[in-house]
Structure 1
């Protein structure tokens, strides 16, 4: 398995690859993608799975960067990645990550698995990082697919009552839950003042930007603890969802859900054992 960060040109290109599937996840920008005549976009929560042998065309304008994983056919079959995609996508090339599920997932793949000195490539440049046989990376891919659903149409839904600017900053923040995010950063993405952004969160979501961000991080932690295939210590899990201190994470988690992280993980494993 190979994985890398790529940015694409505005000029459309087309090709196919016979020996591996490709998973494309957006970090920045929008990729226009056409797979065997089916047009779609990779942006925000929308990702794509390009099956081996399928001809596909792609282009992206402006600032863009995408996480691209080349998954060997045999590995995808043996680890259930192929089956998970088929069950979620129902033959579609496009999946949409559910609310609260995408934040730290992209962070875990994008930030934790790449060398800090790695260069990026334009178009389909050679991968700079190789993760052949890495079970941790396979776990993260399975988790991403497990919290996804078939994407309908090519237009990103923003909801009927939440302004587009607010949706944009929410999507941006949810893909960076592992990073330090300040209100000033969120205001910059929304192209609003901090006070205007704060007022928008209060009006449409009934909370402050930072409380919303913390809730998203804790929700992602719940997903990770419930998935018995994810082998992360509580400390590593805390870091994965943006908490630098394990004790602070445990206190916040307990306040949010009325249960400790260790209890949630233990109960999930007991339930799995009972089913087996």
Structure 2
């Protein structure tokens, strides 16, 4: 059985001072689906794109990476302009819509469902997320969330934080960045931020901290892993690569998530960090293929 990813697919317009704009397929959930397909997972994506050139470009890109896409293309494809700074980090400006056709996946079941980013917050598609989340809970699928917070899109802090906590209380795995966590829980330490999400009900929380590595935690075990040292091209897709790695590796865990010891968490985090390092070493959301990991 396969993994379902639910969320936006869009065109990243990458702007760097002194260079022409670069166009590339993107969207955090679409990147996670692409990463899973490249790692060898059987993966499907429920998304929303236009019937324009950009939509066709996105669909071809995903299918080349072994992603089965569920979509009814119409209208214009969403875009995200990524403004790159000198250190490779990106800020985004969005032109969005999110209204997937849930009837395209009626009757299906999956071993895992991943969702997040703008799609988890933006109506009318957020209601589709809720419905599929309930279907996943009913079928005991592994459920994962990456909020990938975009403050200019998801609304006021209070309602958006409440929405995040509602979703986090219903899933098994939450992955978020330190930037996400600081926006959700300003003033709390990294450890306290993770503790709060664990108390909501998530069985595993992974908090990424860029070049400072990552913190992975269950209710009974916690580890910090180091980031791999690479020359950074840009950070686009790094978190999505980390997320795809987690979902991929959790398809065949050695033990239940809540029973993982520190060694198991460390292996999980180191694998994700290694794959994320491949992504940041090259331009755009160019996530690694399984063949790049060696024998």
Would the TM-score normalized by the shorter structure come out above 0.5? no
* Bigger Rg, which one: 1
Query: What's the TM-score once normalised by structure 1's chain length?
Result: 0.29
Query: What's the TM-score once normalised by structure 2's chain length?
Result: 0.28
